[in-house]
């Protein structure tokens, strides 16, 4: 290490910069809520306190009979500022629609669900539809037996969903409906006719209501959420279904969801502000990176386009520092093969999503460089250069102190010195690809 390099490290340890933070797509999920009264009012206040971008519902928006005479009091009174166009009497509507319900059996009690269809302006045929917000594609289903296009796996509606899930490009695909494919509640329970192969078709998660409980069930590798505590009443549980992880029915509440391209966080929170459940999904093709307190010498173990540091490492307390042209530079986005320093307030594990890399060609400059490796451990001796033999030092990693590395670990950064400008080339053996 040169004296200049050591002085630069000392300066680095005293620098902190604002993180280029990525903002998640935030939305709320409410279910079985449309009954004027204190519980619905409390849940609505909870939801408004989160400042979500939009709301989706798991049905039964308008008790008891889906009537045009009650729909504005049951919905608009509490959520008019999310609805567009809003034609009710409780205040101003939204500039654009931010309320995306699905039909429940009580909404269908009105002939042809006409009050619901007249009150809302929704995409497509409105009974079932899809829309996209940020990295999430949503699919609202109508699973009531009145649905003209059917509700079983051979139906027109199921074919529509299967085609979309198989071709839509978004990272997260959320299906939501009223009746629950799986439920441990003793009131309604599971509906086998709705146990479509959502995961195999490409869904990330499934929401439902109908039972006035909260439950998280894992089936076929994805979570199913029963979310029916929006304000009407509370139901008892019966025998737990296979895969049931969390069951709750003691108070009303709603779900808060925050979605980034790399992860999506689901929470159920009661009207008293108690978090009953929290679970996180990580994007497929994800690599774990272990982080230590304070400064870490890192790299991206996965490929893809350049991304803001706040999207990849949301817990960081500094901007990333790379070493270029014999000096440290702050950057606002990261790319594979380039090592960087990043500071954290404590030990953690980051999940970095992206494309699997089988090879890397990393530009190096004459002098010191910080480089990164591949998604799998790679032997340092296997790295070659063009022109040949321009590396003049071992690879030095940092975990509180510097050590020469025999193996380049995924997500770690390494100092290495070159005698000339060139390329550092790493390629996984065929058996590891």
Q: What is the SS3 assignment for 231?
A: coil
Q: Pick the range with the lowest mean pLDDT from 260-264, 307-311, 339-343.
A: 307-311
| pLDDT for 50 | 98
- The mean pLDDT value for 377-395 works out to 95
> pLDDT per residue over 37-92, tens digit each?
999 999 999 999 999 999 999 999 999 999 999 999 999 999 999 999 999 999 99
Residue bearing the bigger pLDDT, 278 or 355? 278
| pLDDT for 309 | 84
Tokens of 300: 């991206």
Inter-residue contact 104 to 60 (CB < 8 Å): yes
| pLDDT for 22 | 57
| pLDDT for 432 | 52
- The mean pLDDT value for 318-339 works out to 92
> pLDDT per residue over 165-209, tens digit each?
999 999 899 999 999 999 999 999 999 999 999 999 999 999 999
- The mean pLDDT value for 265-280 works out to 95
- The mean pLDDT value for 264-282 works out to 93
CA dist., res. 39 & res. 104, Å (int): 19
> pLDDT per residue over 411-423, tens digit each?
999 999 999 999 9
How many CA atoms within 13 Å lie on the side-chain side of 307? 22
Residue bearing the bigger pLDDT, 359 or 80? 80
CA dist., res. 104 & res. 74, Å (int): 14
Tokens of 127: 């009974």
CA dist., res. 60 & res. 233, Å (int): 12
What rounded mean pLDDT belongs to the chain?
Answer: 92
| pLDDT for 285 | 74
- Model confidence at 363, pLDDT cuts 50, 70, 90, reads very high
Per DSSP, what are the bridge partners of residue 407?
Answer: 379
The pTM for the full model equals 0.69
CA dist., res. 394 & res. 418, Å (int): 10
CA-based radius of gyration for the chain = 26
Inter-residue contact 127 to 147 (CB < 8 Å): yes
CA dist., res. 98 & res. 120, Å (int): 11
Kind and range of the H or E element at 48? helix 38-50
- The mean pLDDT value for 344-352 works out to 90
Tokens of 231: 């304000």
Q: What is the SS3 assignment for 261?
A: coil
Q: DSSP character for 328?
A: E
| pLDDT for 206 | 98
How many CA atoms within 13 Å lie on the side-chain side of 71? 22
pLDDT above 60: residue 21: no
Question: Minimal CA–CA distance to 367: which of 290, 412, 422, 314?
Answer: 422
| pLDDT for 430 | 61
pLDDT above 80: residue 120: yes
- The mean pLDDT value for 109-137 works out to 98
Q: DSSP character for 433?
A: -
Q: Pick the range with the lowest mean pLDDT from 184-188, 190-194, 372-376, 380-384.
A: 372-376
Q: DSSP character for 161?
A: H
CA dist., res. 309 & res. 284, Å (int): 19
| pLDDT for 23 | 83
CA dist., res. 190 & res. 91, Å (int): 39
List, in sequence order, every beta strand (DSSP E) within 66-171: 99-100, 129-133, 136-140
| pLDDT for 359 | 86
> pLDDT per residue over 207-241, tens digit each?
999 999 999 999 998 999 999 999 999 999 999 99
Q: DSSP character for 72?
A: I
Q: Is 210 left (phi over 0), alpha (psi -120 to 50) or beta?
A: left
Inter-residue contact 280 to 264 (CB < 8 Å): yes
- The mean pLDDT value for 140-159 works out to 98
pLDDT above 60: residue 263: yes
Question: Minimal CA–CA distance to 331: which of 346, 347, 313?
Answer: 313
Q: Pick the range with the lowest mean pLDDT from 1-15, 149-163, 191-205, 242-256.
A: 1-15
Inter-residue contact 291 to 348 (CB < 8 Å): yes
Per DSSP, what are the bridge partners of residue 255?
Answer: 29, 268
């Amino acid at each position: 290490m040169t004296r200049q390099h050591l002085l630069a490290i000392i300066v680095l340890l005293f620098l902190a910069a604002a993180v280029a933070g990525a903002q998640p797509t935030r939305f709320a999920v409410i279910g079985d809520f449309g009954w004027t009264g204190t519980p619905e009012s409390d849940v609505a206040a909870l939801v408004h306190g989160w400042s979500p971008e939009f709301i989706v519902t798991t049905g039964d928006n308008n008790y008891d009979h889906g009537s045009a005479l009650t729909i504005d009091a049951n919905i608009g009174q509490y959520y008019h500022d999310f609805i567009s166009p809003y034609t009710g009497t409780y205040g101003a509507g939204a500039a654009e629609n931010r309320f995306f319900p699905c039909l429940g059996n009580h909404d269908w009690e009105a002939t042809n669900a006409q009050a619901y269809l007249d009150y809302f302006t929704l995409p497509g045929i409105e009974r079932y539809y899809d829309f996209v917000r940020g990295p999430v594609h949503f699919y609202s289903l109508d699973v009531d037996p009145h649905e003209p296009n059917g509700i079983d796996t051979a139906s027109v509606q199921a074919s529509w969903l299967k085609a979309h899930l198989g071709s839509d490009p978004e990272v997260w695909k959320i299906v939501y409906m009223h009746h629950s494919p799986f439920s441990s509640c003793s009131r309604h329970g599971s509906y086998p006719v709705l146990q479509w192969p959502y995961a195999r078709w490409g869904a990330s998660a499934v929401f439902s209501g109908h039972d006035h409980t909260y439950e998280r069930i894992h089936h076929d590798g994805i979570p199913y959420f029963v979310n029916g505590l929006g304000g009407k009443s509370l139901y008892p549980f019966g025998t737990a279904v296979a895969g049931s992880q969390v069951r709750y029915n003691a108070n009303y509440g709603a779900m808060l969801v925050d979605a980034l391209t790399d992860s999506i966080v689901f929470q159920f929170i009661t009207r008293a502000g108690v978090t009953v459940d929290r679970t996180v999904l990580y994007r497929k093709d994800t690599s774990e990176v272990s982080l230590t307190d304070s400064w870490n010498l890192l790299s991206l173990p996965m490929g893809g386009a350049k991304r803001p540091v706040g999207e990849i490492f949301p817990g960081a307390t500094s901007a990333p520092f790379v070493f270029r042209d014999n000096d440290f530079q702050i950057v606002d986005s990261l790319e594979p093969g380039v090592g960087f320093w990043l500071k954290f307030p404590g030990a953690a594990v980051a999940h970095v999503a992206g494309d699997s890399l089988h090879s890397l060609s990393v530009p190096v400059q004459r002098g010191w460089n910080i480089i990164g490796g591949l998604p799998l451990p790679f032997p340092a001796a296997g790295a070659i250069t063009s022109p040949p033999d321009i590396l003049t030092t071992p690879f030095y990693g940092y975990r509180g102190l510097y050590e020469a590395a025999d193996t380049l670990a995924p997500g770690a950064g390494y100092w290495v010195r070159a005698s000339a400008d060139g390329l550092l080339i790493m390629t996984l053996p065929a058996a590891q690809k």
